[in-house]
Chain A
Amino acid sequence: MDKMDRKLPILEKLHDVEAYMKKRIGLGDSFDLGVRKLTILKKNVHFYYVNGLCDTSFIVQIVKELVEINDNEKMSSKLQDIVENRITHQSVSPVKTMDEMVDQVLSGLIAILVEGEGIALIVDVRSYPGRQPMEPDTEKVVRGSRDGFVENIIVNTALTRRRIRDERLRFEMMKVGERSKTDVAIAYIKDIASPNLVDVVKQEVKSIEIDGIAMGDKTIEEFIVKQGYNPYPLVRYTERADVAASHLLEGHVLLYVDTSPSVIITPTTYFHHLQHAEEYRQSAGVGTMVKWVRFLGVLASLILLPLWFLLLSNPDLLPDNLSFIGPNKHSNIPVLLQIFFADIGIEFLRMAAIHTPTPLSTAMGLIAAVLIGQIAIDVGLFVPEVILYVSVSAIGTYATPSYELSIANKIGRLFLLVVTAIFDVPGFVIGLTVWLLLLARIKSLNTPYLWPFLPFVPKAFKEILIRTSVPGSSIRPSILHSRNRQRQPSKS
């Protein structure tokens, strides 16, 4: 479409408008577009709408009110003003170009045009199909709010606004996608978030050029952080409104993408992916224990398997009191292959479980537990220890709160396993070193990925290890360069 067309003003003759709509958006071809024609005070008044995206009961009310103009008013020369005045809805805005009108109609608003006026009144009667806020499956808590984000950006921003009534909370709306015109909102608190960070995120979103973002926030993420084939997640997703609100208060910048039930938290580090709302719903002591156990789980998911394999292939490394480690039985297949088979088997299960309907997944669980576990040992395919260690590291994977991180760690584990198998002790040690250095090199929006461990920042690292009680933690994380480092106003 050329520039001229974009600026085309609303046509004055309504049958011209209709012809334009037929040509441009396929009125009459597409069944979900409609036009309702009324005659009010002997003038034509047309309504354009997309059925399914607007609430019929509002439109009925508005049409009723407009038709009654015929009985109550006589001044047909002022019809435009009368119509505007009579629309029983709070959100009415006039637009002057065809392009704008088409955008709004396709978003589910209705356009009301009066013959000979060259103006379209846009009324927000949107009612999108969607579900009610409910607890997200991926971030459950025992206690705490259960209203998770949904696919509707308006509901999502409202859920956040309910938690932060601050006048400085900003939701800056942008449209992304030449064809999809998806709404993307950048959320931050004005006097907390670093202006540089807000600018960077805004620029990145603005510079996205794409047809449509049907995959929602994931596509936006790929444009913003440019992660390539690095498997480690560079932004954090959350479906919980309370998690989103607490990150806003820390000074993060959040991205809300319409049609996605999760919001993007930027910038994030490795340790952000190890947090979970649960530990902030328990007392500080319990929260700390939960954290430590989780760290152990994540560590196990990463190095337990390679370490065990290393000790098993070099039994002379074992200290005397650990000498029971290693298979007692003779195995028919090299242990490395067994580990890979078992690990890939678990991956089969995980992938199958995602898209298996619930009634079938019970049967699947049974097959997995009985057949793959016990019988594989009985027929001599696996040694029991392989099942044990693969299972422990799989459980460690599931104990990782971030789904993205758990899969990335899985790749890290397989990498370590392979280099350990090839190069023994040097492979394991160098592999771990390289893994650590590569992670430390990653930067997500100018934030070192392993902050605050590497580079080490004592105070922030304490917050990672110990879940401090809220009244004690009055400083915002320094990495965000927030404008206002105190969380709580000091007492005066």
Chain B
Amino acid sequence: MDQEKRKLEQEQHEKPMSMVAMVAVTGLFGGLLWSSLAQFAHYLNFTDVRVNVLLEPWAFGAWKKGWIGTVFSIIALGIISIGVAFVYYWTMRKVKSMWGGAIFGLLLFLLVFYVLNPVFPGIKPISDLSRNTLVTSVCFYLLYGVFVGYSISFEENELQYREKNNTAAAPQETE
């Protein structure tokens, strides 16, 4: 009896992180990681766009241009990125291929650099951007899109695999 109960407990799969939490964490981490790397690329002058441009439309103090502004922007991007991850989750999570994420990233790039461009005076109009800035930004948005998109699609896929397999494998478990 006791042993039986123990066996059952052992077989209980601990619930993997819930999908919503996973999407949020992926968004947050993706935002933090890629914006930090983008800031590093700016430090090495690969791109003229620094993360601080995010704060430009708002009337903060002088600190928004200093390193506090940078840290604040990276954190803010992380939080915004959670929302972006959910946008992917709601629209494109069924796309299995990694390239879905890449396209998502490119769309984001177009959104920020074309549509939202007037909001951020720190980003020059797209026709005035240097070649290095353009290439670096596209690559970062691409990688960010793949990171968020592929992760969410993969997890969605895994979830379905697990559900399908749990029901299918249940009778075998008793052997």
Chain A nearest CB from B81 CB (Å) reads 12
Specify the chain A residue showing the minimal Cβ separation from B165.
A481
Beyond A437-B146, A455-B151, A456-B30, is A311–B46 a contact (Cβ under 8 Å)? Answer: no
Say which residue of B16, B29, B131 sits within 8 Å of A426 (CB atoms). B131
Does A395 make an interface contact (CB < 8 A)? Answer: no
| Contact status B135-A430, CB under 8 Å | yes
| Contact status B143-A456, CB under 8 Å | no
Say which residue of A319, A448, A455, A458 sits within 8 Å of B17 (CB atoms). A458
Cα–Cα, bound, A492→B132 (Å): 61
What are the interface flags for A432-443 relative to B under an 8 Å C-beta threshold, 1 for contact and 0 otherwise? 110011001100
Does A486 make an interface contact (CB < 8 A)? Answer: yes
Chain B residues with CB under 8 Å of A319's CB are: 43-45
Q: Which of B43, B44, B147 has the most CB of A within 10 A?
A: B44
Does B56 make an interface contact (CB < 8 A)? Answer: no
Chain B residues with CB under 8 Å of A485's CB are: 13-14
Cα–Cα, bound, A459→B150 (Å): 17
Chain B nearest CB from A190 CB (Å) reads 10
Interface size on B, residues (CB 8 A): 44
| Contact status B25-A458, CB under 8 Å | yes
Cα–Cα, bound, A314→B170 (Å): 62
**For window 286-321 of chain A, which residues contact chain B by CB distance below 8 Å?**
311, 316-319
Specify the chain B residue showing the minimal Cβ separation from A479.
B158
What are the interface flags for A58-100 relative to B under an 8 Å C-beta threshold, 1 for contact and 0 otherwise? 0000000000000000000000000000000000000000000
Chain A residues with CB under 8 Å of B75's CB are: none
Chain B nearest CB from A194 CB (Å) reads 9
| Contact status B26-A458, CB under 8 Å | yes
Chain A residues with CB under 8 Å of B9's CB are: 489-490, 492
Chain B nearest CB from A430 CB (Å) reads 6
Cα–Cα, bound, A457→B162 (Å): 15
Cα–Cα, bound, A436→B43 (Å): 22
| Contact status B22-A458, CB under 8 Å | yes
| Contact status A440-B98, CB under 8 Å | yes
Binding site secondary structure of chain B = helix
Cα–Cα, bound, A307→B170 (Å): 53
| Contact status B169-A483, CB under 8 Å | yes
| Contact status A448-B146, CB under 8 Å | no
Beyond A316-B45, A319-B45, A425-B135, is A454–B142 a contact (Cβ under 8 Å)? Answer: no
What are the interface flags for A1-44 relative to B under an 8 Å C-beta threshold, 1 for contact and 0 otherwise? 00000000000000000000000000000000000000000000
Does A230 make an interface contact (CB < 8 A)? Answer: no
**For window 450-492 of chain A, which residues contact chain B by CB distance below 8 Å?**
454-459, 474-475, 478, 481, 483-486, 489-490, 492
| Contact status B6-A425, CB under 8 Å | no
| Contact status A454-B146, CB under 8 Å | yes
Specify the chain B residue showing the minimal Cβ separation from A490.
B9
Chain A residues with CB under 8 Å of B91's CB are: none
Chain B nearest CB from A320 CB (Å) reads 11
Beyond A311-B44, A433-B143, A481-B161, is A425–B132 a contact (Cβ under 8 Å)? Answer: yes
Does A429 make an interface contact (CB < 8 A)? Answer: yes
Chain B nearest CB from A434 CB (Å) reads 9
Cα–Cα, bound, A456→B169 (Å): 27
What are the interface flags for B136-175 relative to A under an 8 Å C-beta threshold, 1 for contact and 0 otherwise? 1001001100110011011100100110010001001100
| Contact status A440-B150, CB under 8 Å | yes
| Contact status B143-A486, CB under 8 Å | no
Specify the chain A residue showing the minimal Cβ separation from B169.
A483
| Contact status A455-B6, CB under 8 Å | no
| Contact status A317-B46, CB under 8 Å | yes
Does B2 make an interface contact (CB < 8 A)? Answer: yes
| Contact status A486-B10, CB under 8 Å | yes
| Contact status A492-B98, CB under 8 Å | no
**For window 129-161 of chain A, which residues contact chain B by CB distance below 8 Å?**
none
Chain A residues with CB under 8 Å of B14's CB are: 474-475, 485-486
Does B11 make an interface contact (CB < 8 A)? Answer: yes
| Contact status B151-A456, CB under 8 Å | yes
Cα–Cα, bound, A107→B124 (Å): 76
| Contact status B151-A457, CB under 8 Å | yes
Cα–Cα, bound, A354→B98 (Å): 40
Q: Which of A448, A458, A478 has the most CB of B within 10 A?
A: A458
Chain B residues with CB under 8 Å of A436's CB are: 143
| Contact status A490-B6, CB under 8 Å | yes
Chain A nearest CB from B61 CB (Å) reads 25
**For window 250-299 of chain A, which residues contact chain B by CB distance below 8 Å?**
none
Cα–Cα, bound, A316→B130 (Å): 14
What are the interface flags for A407-449 relative to B under an 8 Å C-beta threshold, 1 for contact and 0 otherwise? 0000000000000000011101110110011001100000010
Chain A nearest CB from B149 CB (Å) reads 9
Cα–Cα, bound, A457→B153 (Å): 12
Cα–Cα, bound, A437→B14 (Å): 32
| Contact status A441-B98, CB under 8 Å | yes
**For window 6-54 of chain B, which residues contact chain A by CB distance below 8 Å?**
6, 9-14, 16-17, 22, 25-26, 29-30, 41, 43-46
Chain A to chain B contacts (Cβ below 8 Å), 12 pairs: A195-B169, A318-B45, A319-B43, A425-B135, A433-B142, A437-B102, A458-B22, A478-B158, A481-B161, A484-B10, A490-B6, A490-B12
Closest 4 CB pairs of A and B: A455-B154, A456-B151, A426-B135, A455-B151
* Interface contacts beyond A456-B151, A485-B14: sample of 12 additional A-B pairs, CB < 8 Å, sorted by A: A425-B46, A426-B131, A430-B139, A441-B98, A454-B151, A455-B155, A458-B17, A478-B16, A478-B158, A481-B165, A484-B11, A492-B9
